[in-house]
Amino acid sequence: MAKKTLKTAAKPLTKTSNKTAENGHQEAPHTETALAVQKTYKLYIGGKFPRTESGRFFKVNDPDGKLVANMCRASRKDFRNAVVAARKAFGGWAGRTAYNRGQIIYRIAEMLEGRRAQFEAELVQLGSDPKSAAQEVQAAIDRLIYYAGWADKYQQVFSSVNPVASSHFNFSVQEPTGVVAVFAPEEPGLLGLVSSIIPAITGGNTVVVLASEKFPTCAITFGEVLQVSDVPGGVVNLLTGHQKELLSHFSTHMDVNAMIYCGNDPQISITLQTSSADNLKRTVLYPDTDWMTASGASPYFILDTQETKTTWHPVGK
Amino acid sequence: MPAISGKMEFDTAWSYAPAPENADHIVLKKRYELFITGKFVKPQSGKYFETLNPATGKPLAKVAEGSEADIDKAVKAARKAYTNHWSKLPAKERGKYIFRLARMIQERAREFAVIESLDGGKAIRESKGVDIPLAAAHFFYYAGWADKLNYAFPNTNPSSLGVAGQIIPWNFPLLMAAWKLAPALATGNTVVLKPAETTPLTAMKLAELIQDCDFPPGVVNIVTGAGATGAALVNHPDVDKIAFTGSTEVGKLIRRATAGTQKKITLELGGKAANIIFEDAPLDQAVEGIINGIYFNQGHVCCAGSRLLVQESVKEVIIRKLKDRMETLIVGDPLDKNTDIGAINSQQQLATIEAYLKLGQAEGAEMFQSSCPVPQNGGYWVRPTLFLNASQSHRIVQEEIFGPVLAVQSFRTVDEAVKKANNTHYGLSAGVWTDKGSKIFQMTQKMRAGVIWANTYNKFDPTAPFGGYKESGFGREGGLHGLMPYLKM
């Protein structure tokens, strides 16, 4: 990613943010007279923004080493709370009509469109160059629209009526696997997050996501977008923290049905697949997907967190 | 509300004369070798084990015990066949081999059925009517896919994986071989197959057919043996795909063993299916469905309807009808055409089932067994059994018994039925009985299971995807969806 932060990057943040900073961070360099009001980045669980119960944090700095935010360092307990929220939301979300899910995902795109500048600024602040940040936000919006359109179509592509050799009506449909835990891609921070979780929720799953460690701020801001997009609380739960610390908590949790890992650390893949055996989580690995290109979007990403259900009924008088 | 009628009549005044299937035409070798590179070869260890007839406890033949070295040889043969022949063959020609195999199984269906019953203990009625015809149909179905894969998954340009290692169980020996081999071969993979140790004979017969069909040597290799042989296959570094049908316990071991490797895996594991009877169900049909659900194949069925959930208002009548019907079931010689319940597959499985019978009673459930006679001849038998007053936390409700043992619970509301049905780690199958269409769809949607039978049970077809949710495994076998686990997309 790019090298130099633009000083102006902080500006749009102060203007568009509607969150009140509750902690006094040190002052950002500023050309205006009014002191910038910085945002406290918290977690997004069950439709609310709680701090981590652990009280721990990790620093995120800009490329010059200047503090951008003290991010919540999510704990096992935070993760478990998020899974409870995700499980609670699952039945309702899976039970929504496909049309309704599609509209809600479209609504996320609408909200993101209006906050374009804020997301670009957050990406630039953490080292992205302005041009690629703009491209990334545009791609994230497009990806949301893409999956919004899939919501009521993938079922028709992947279902089947099966011509069994007996007097039965037989069909197979796709159903969401349940609660999906996700290690989002490290980069691109926003587009990777969108690309790894939207297929799962398009398909009716609920997700608990560990955001990029490098670009965590835009993930939490994306939570704000979700909150005002009619996405029911608990459908998407966003954590920030360390992959290595949370890996075994994610992969051993007995009420998580699947786990997606977007990365290529072989040790993480081994640990994930080994401990996922406890309850036979579906493990989905995307080690080298290029999220910036068209190869980072297809209905097969939706299919990766679907189950096939076959139903039989006799035909007769 | 259904009327509560009197005792069901089954013409039980008639007694059945023995009607044994003729087994004269069956030729079994004394000893079966491994099938590698299209030839029958001795195991490197020189070791053999016996496969028994579970209806008599007497040996049928000796079978080679494949070791790690034999597995290695078989995988090398499969790799060579993949690289040199199978992956280069035009897809339609690949399909023709598989069609040919399907036809040859049909031609020799009677022989396969008898051997299946001899080696595995299942009633000949089922071997002849279910196992063997479905196995042939499975090859026929997938044969036709070989040159049509581009139509299966749009925009993916799918290709084969390479060498598939496949491990199959003892409950449907030939059928499971077909479920594994047919999609793997049709998608252009070569195979090393490990049959179950107690039922290797039809797989070895199948090897003879594969020779007769002139498959290129090494496209299908069959290595017999027990757990260690399977483990060697799972751990072999040059295997691209593992497909396993068996217990959840072993499935988890396989998941761990293949963690972090490039091996694709599919697991078809255990189940503890709820068979749910509503008060508005056609009750007599439902009773037949319960019987077929749990006593089919001695209850050695991963998708067996082993938990009966019956609505309280009809509980009494259902239980009475069920007991009456159980009394008519004939337990005995698998080769007798009148037999409903054959022999338990092995002494080990018999011990497992008997332990659960004791456990169920110790847990406080009330056991009922049919009073039918069972042969006293050294074979392995269990009478059809049910447990009343079973509760959700009982181990006989939570754990897979894999025998003719039904746990009965009741419910009042639809929501309670759904909650109880879904309250296990498994999610393979479920059954629903009601005459109300909207309720059927409500129930079939809410059940977290991969196969749902509504007003029927234990039906299978090559075109119908089969496989589980949750700890019943992942991946599907059968249908278009059954191609996916064998393709790179």
Q: Are residues B90 and B235 in the same domain?
A: yes
Q: Are residues B377 and B346 in the same domain?
A: yes
Distance, in Å, from the CA atom of B328 to the CA atom of B233, rounded to the nearest integer, reads 44
The per-residue pLDDT for range B438-483, each reduced to its tens digit, is 999 999 999 999 999 999 999 999 999 999 999 999 999 999 999 9
Residues in chain A: 317
Per-residue confidence (pLDDT) for residue A317, from 0 to 100: 77
Judge whether B409 and B390 are in contact, CB under 8 Å: yes
**DSSP strand E in B26-183: where?**
31-32, 34-36, 39-41, 48-53, 58-64, 159-160, 163-167
How big is the CA angle at A241 (ends A235 and A246), to the nearest 5 degrees? 80
Which domains are present in chain A? 7-18+41-160+175-304 (3.40.605.10)
Determine the average pLDDT of the residues in B337-345: 97
Q: Are residues B242 and B315 in the same domain?
A: no
| The pLDDT of residue B435 is above 80 | yes
Q: What percent of chain B has pLDDT over 70?
A: 97
Q: Are residues B374 and B426 in the same domain?
A: yes
CB pair distance less than 8 Å for A311 and B452 = yes
Residues 6+ positions from B13 with CB-CB distance below 8 Å: none
Distance, in Å, from the CA atom of A137 to the CA atom of A129, rounded to the nearest integer, reads 12
| Domain presence at residue B22 | no
Q: Residues of A at the B interface (Cβ-Cβ below 8 Å)?
A: 157, 160, 162-166, 168, 170, 172, 177-178, 257, 266, 269-274, 276-280, 282, 298, 300, 307-314
Distance, in Å, from the CA atom of B399 to the CA atom of B298, rounded to the nearest integer, reads 17
Q: Is B213 a catalytic residue?
A: no
Q: Are residues B220 and B319 in the same domain?
A: no
Per-residue confidence (pLDDT) for residue B13, from 0 to 100: 62
Determine the average pLDDT of the residues in B212-219: 98
Render A182-220 in DSSP notation, one character per residue.
EE--SSSHHHHHHHHHHHHHHTT-EEEEEPPSSSHHHHH
Name the average pLDDT for chain B: 96
CB pair distance less than 8 Å for A166 and B470 = no
Per-residue confidence (pLDDT) for residue A29, from 0 to 100: 57
| Domain presence at residue B377 | yes
Q: Are residues B389 and B339 in the same domain?
A: yes
Among A310, A313, A315, A317, the strongest candidate for a mutation testing the B interface, having the largest count of B CBs within 10 A, is A310
Q: Are residues B259 and B143 in the same domain?
A: yes
| Domain presence at residue B218 | yes
Q: Are residues B280 and B228 in the same domain?
A: no
Q: Are residues B343 and B215 in the same domain?
A: no
Q: Are residues B221 and B325 in the same domain?
A: no
Judge whether A140 and A297 are in contact, CB under 8 Å: no
Q: For chain A, 317 residues long, give each residue's pLDDT as a single digit of tens.
A: 444 444 444 444 444 444 444 444 555 555 668 998 999 999 999 999 999 999 999 999 999 999 999 999 999 999 999 999 999 999 999 999 999 999 999 999 999 999 999 999 999 999 999 999 999 999 999 999 999 999 999 999 999 999 999 999 999 999 999 999 999 999 999 999 999 999 999 999 999 999 999 999 999 999 999 999 999 999 999 999 999 999 999 999 999 999 999 999 999 999 999 999 999 999 999 999 999 999 999 999 999 999 999 999 999 97
Neighbours of B379 (CB within 10 A): 23
Q: Are residues B325 and B230 in the same domain?
A: no
The per-residue pLDDT for range B273-327, each reduced to its tens digit, is 999 999 999 999 999 999 999 999 999 999 999 999 999 999 999 999 999 999 9
Confidence class for position B10, pLDDT limits 50, 70, 90: low
Per-residue confidence (pLDDT) for residue B85, from 0 to 100: 96
| Domain presence at residue B203 | yes
CB pair distance less than 8 Å for B450 and A309 = yes
The per-residue pLDDT for range B17-30, each reduced to its tens digit, is 889 898 888 999 99
| Domain presence at residue B320 | yes
The per-residue pLDDT for range B130-147, each reduced to its tens digit, is 999 999 999 999 999 999
pTM flag (> 0.90): yes
Q: Are residues B383 and B359 in the same domain?
A: yes
Confidence class for position B6, pLDDT limits 50, 70, 90: low
CATH number of the domain where residue B318 is located: 3.40.309.10
Q: What percent of chain B has pLDDT over 90?
A: 95
Determine the average pLDDT of the residues in B389-417: 97
| Domain presence at residue B2 | no
The per-residue pLDDT for range B59-98, each reduced to its tens digit, is 999 999 999 999 999 999 999 999 999 999 999 999 999 9
ipTM score for this prediction:
0.96
Total tally of structural domains belonging to chain B: 2
Distance, in Å, from the CA atom of B87 to the CA atom of B160, rounded to the nearest integer, reads 8
Closest in B155, B464, B469 to A162, CB measured: B464
Determine the average pLDDT of the residues in B113-130: 98
Judge whether B450 and A308 are in contact, CB under 8 Å: yes
| Domain presence at residue B180 | yes
Amino acid at B276: I
Confidence class for position B103, pLDDT limits 50, 70, 90: very high
| Among A228, A186, A182, residue whose Cα is nearest residue A79 | A182
| Residue B83 lies in domain | 31-269+469-488
* Selected catalytic residue, list B302, B399, B400, B471: B302
CATH number of the domain where residue B199 is located: 3.40.605.10
| Domain presence at residue B463 | no
Residue A276 DSSP class: G
